[in-house]
Each structure stands twice: as C-alpha cells, then as structure tokens.
C-alpha cells in the first residue's frame, strides 16, 4: 500500500541506553519506507501517516521487482529470482548485531558497502537481528547496503542455542504454542522490512528443536510472518536432522519440516571436508520427500574444535576450500551455501573471513550458473 513518509531533519544524539540509540523511534513501524521512495530507503528516524482508505489486509500479489531488484520467491523445490531458479553462495554475518562489540563498532557504513560490493553477484548473507540485539540501528543500514548492491539477506529472528542473548537478556524461544516473545519480535521486524526486496528469507530460529511438540510454536510465528509478508520465503530453522535415514527421530524431523508454513530445510554441517557432507543424504531426502528447497545455512571450521581455518589454513588454500564447497553443494542441488562466518573486526578467530584479507578477491570473483543476471 502506498504511504506518505515524512523524513526527520536530524538524527538523534548518539547516546546509547541498553544498546539502543536514545531518540530512536519506539516501534519498528517507523523504520519502514515505501517502495515508491527513492534512495535512501531506510533513513532514520521517520514517521508515517497512512490514509484511512489505504488501510486493510496485506497484498497477496506475486513477487515484484522493487527498485530494480527482484524479490526471492519459492516455487516447489526451487527458490526463484525473477521467475528463474536462483541458488546462492554467501556467509553468516552474526556478530555485527551484538551490543557495542568490536564487530558492531567495525561495521560502519563504509565497511558494509565494502562487504556487499565484494560478494559474488546476488549472494545471500545470513544475519541475526534478535530482539535483544542492536537491530533497530543496525538492520536499516544492513538492508540499505544490501539493496545498493543487489544482494540478499536471510534474517534469523531468535536463537535456540543460547536463548537469543546478545545484550544481556534472555529472549530465546519457550516454544509457546502462541509464538510468545518470538512472534512479537517477528511482528515488529517483518513489519519494518517487509517491503525490502533484499530480505529474501525470514527464519524463525537458529537451530531450533525438531520435536513435534514445537510445531504449534513454529506455525504461530510463521503464520504471523506470512500474514505481514505474504510472498516471503519462511524457514522454521528446525535443526539439522542428524539421525539415521528412516529412524523414528528422522521421521519426526521430517514431519516438523513438512508443516505448511515452512518453505525450506536448513542444514548445518561442520565436517571440514571438501565436498558434500555424508549427513546431507538425510536432509536432502527430507527436502525431496516434502517438495521443498534445501540449503546449507552454515558450514565451515567452527564447531568441531577446528585448529585451522582462514588463519591457520592460509588464505589461498582457504579460498580454494570455500569455493570448492560452494561448487559441491550447488551442484548437488542446494539452493544456498553459507560459510560460517564473515566478520567486520579482526578477532584472530581461525574461522573468520573479512574483506581486508587477500582471499577475498578470489572469493569475490566466484561465479556459478544459478546466480542470475
């Protein structure tokens, strides 16, 4: 729906309270800008007035091209861009949403521009705008930079592993059947950014439970996302199915991923091999049996206590490893393959990759048949 937007003439002072800028709008509604407005799309702070004749339920029209950037949609087992199958490579970029962390401070507008400009064309970046993060100030800047370079985002709304704690609170899922605090946060974030074509996927949880008892929770949050953003791609994030094919646990995982509001199967692997993980069969089979796309939402050196990575492995070898993994999974049919992790600040972690490393040039030039024009 068309909206009249009045941009404020000044940004609030830079004082910070509980991780949020003083003077920031009280609700995320104020962060949304209409598709008719030219850049900058996400200027802060703004207020909106909506004509009474324009109120009503969200549009259920097909995907659009907004500002020259096609939206990402799902068609059966494919993700599509402009009606053509789209597969993407990219990175996880979680730490820039923390509370005054080194990554948050390093993720300036100039850095975000460098990062998105240096990605392969039409890539996907997985971000973590949790309720207790600095999402109100960071998300508009990230979205603006992604849009400027025709790149895409996968926004994860809460973390099952550590309670979603980024700024000292605990807003992780209780798996309440009504969606609880995660649904409330989804309402705010999706309302704010549903009009951006750069937000390709909304994911309810990072590595959530596969248990049947959690299905009402996933359904409640996903239904709210789809109510607000009907053409969006929605993922439960219901965990990787590390169970033997055909076992009772595998079937439970399959049935959880087969709920009507879940669009894809998100598989995380840290085998550190150069090729498709042997666990992929279990997850690929779930996607095939349920008629959904599947992605590698995380892969890399991170979580097996790896002593090497982009630090110990060497830049050239690391870049070659990364590109080999991307190629292996894309060829196997994955709709996205996302390395853990990219970083803005230098923490000397062995698994991080940054635009200021020599491997980045080699990574930036990576091409594949499904990235689109």
Domains assigned to the chain:
4-54 (no CATH), 65-364 (3.20.20.80)
pTM given for the model: 0.82
Q: What is the mean pLDDT of residues 78-99?
A: 94
pLDDT tens digits, residue range 158-185? 988 765 456 655 566 789 999 999 999 9
What's the Cα-to-Cα distance from 288 to each of 77, 262, 366, rounded to whole Å?
Answer: 8, 14, 28
Mean pLDDT of 323-340: 94
Q: What is the pLDDT of residue 72?
A: 98
Instruction: Provide the pLDDT confidence category of residue 241 given band limits of 50, 70 and 90.
Output: confident
Structure-token pair, residue 100: 């005054």
Higher pLDDT, 166 or 54: 166
Instruction: Name which residue leads in pLDDT, 106 or 279.
Output: 106
pLDDT at 228 over 70: yes
Average pLDDT over residues 20-47: 34
Question: Is the sign of the CA dihedral 193, 194, 198, 203 positive or negative?
Answer: positive
For residue 274, the model assigns a pLDDT of: 65
Average pLDDT over residues 216-231: 97
Band of residue 220 on the pLDDT scale cut at 50, 70, 90: very high
Q: Look over the chain and give the mean of its residue pLDDT values, rounded to a whole number.
A: 79
Higher pLDDT, 62 or 353: 353
pLDDT value of residue 217:
96
Q: What Cα–Cα distance (Å) separates residue 363 from each residue in 104, 149, 190, 237? A: 23, 16, 31, 27
Band (pLDDT 50/70/90 cuts) for residue 201 is very high
Q: Is 54 exposed, middle or buried (0-12, 13-18, 19+ CB in 10 A)?
A: exposed
Backbone angles phi, psi at 276, to 5 degrees: -70, 130
Q: Which residue has the higher pLDDT, 180 or 44?
A: 180
pLDDT tens digits, one per residue of 259-304: 999 999 999 988 766 678 877 888 889 999 999 999 999 988 766 5
- Give the pLDDT mean for 148-166: 83
Confidence of residue 305 (pLDDT cuts 50, 70, 90): very low
Burial (Cβ within 10 Å: 0-12, 13-18, ≥19) of residue 278: exposed
Mean pLDDT of 179-205: 96
Q: 53-57, 103-107, 143-147 — which is least confidently predicted? A: 53-57
The model's pLDDT over 295-304, given as tens digits with 9 standing for 90+, comes to: 999 988 766 5
Instruction: Determine the straight-line distance between the first and last CA of the chain, rounded to whole angstroms.
Output: 29
pLDDT band at 198 (very low <50, low <70, confident <90, very high): very high
Residue 356 pLDDT: 84
Check residues 240 and 327 and name the one with the higher pLDDT.
327
């Amino acid at each position: 729906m068309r909206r009249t937007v009045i941009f404020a003439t000044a940004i609030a002072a830079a004082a910070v309270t509980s991780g949020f800028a003083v003077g920031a709008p009280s609700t995320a509604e104020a962060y949304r800008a209409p598709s008719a407005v030219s850049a900058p799309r996400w200027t802060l702070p703004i207020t909106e007035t909506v004509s009474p004749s324009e109120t009503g339920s969200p549009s259920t029209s097909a995907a659009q091209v907004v500002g020259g950037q096609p939206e990402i949609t799902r068609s059966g087992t494919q993700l599509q861009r402009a009606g053509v199958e789209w597969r993407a490579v990219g990175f996880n970029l979680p730490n820039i949403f923390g509370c005054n962390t080194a990554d948050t401070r390093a993720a300036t507008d100039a850095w975000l521009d460098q990062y998105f400009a240096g990605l392969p064309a039409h890539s996907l970046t997985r971000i973590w705008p949790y309720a207790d993060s600095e999402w109100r100030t960071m998300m508009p800047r990230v979205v603006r930079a992604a849009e400027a370079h025709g790149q895409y985002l996968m926004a994860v709304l809460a973390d099952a592993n550590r309670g979603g704690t980024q700024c000292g609170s605990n807003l992780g899922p209780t798996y309440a059947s009504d969606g609880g605090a995660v649904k409330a946060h989804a309402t705010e974030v999706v309302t704010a950014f549903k009009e951006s074509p750069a937000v390709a996927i909304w994911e309810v949880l990072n590595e959530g439970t596969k248990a049947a008892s959690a299905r009402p929770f996933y359904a409640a949050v996903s239904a709210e996302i789809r109510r607000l953003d009907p053409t969006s791609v929605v993922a439960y994030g219901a965990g990787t199915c590390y169970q033997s094919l055909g076992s009772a646990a595998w079937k439970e995982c399959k049935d959880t991923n087969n709920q009507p509001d879940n669009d894809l199967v998100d598989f995380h692997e840290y085998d550190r091999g150069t090729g498709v993980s042997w666990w992929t069969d279990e997850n690929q089979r779930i996607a095939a049996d349920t008629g959904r796309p599947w992605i590698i939402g995380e892969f890399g050196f991170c979580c097996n206590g790896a002593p090497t990575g982009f630090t110990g492995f060497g830049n050239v070898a690391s870049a070659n490893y990364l590109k080999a993994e991307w190629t292996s999974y894309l060829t196997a049919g994955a709709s996205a393959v996302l390395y853990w992790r990219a970083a803005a600040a230098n923490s000397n972690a062995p698994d991080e990759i940054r635009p200021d490393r020599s491997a980045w040039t080699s990574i930036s030039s990576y091409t594949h048949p499904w990235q689109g024009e």
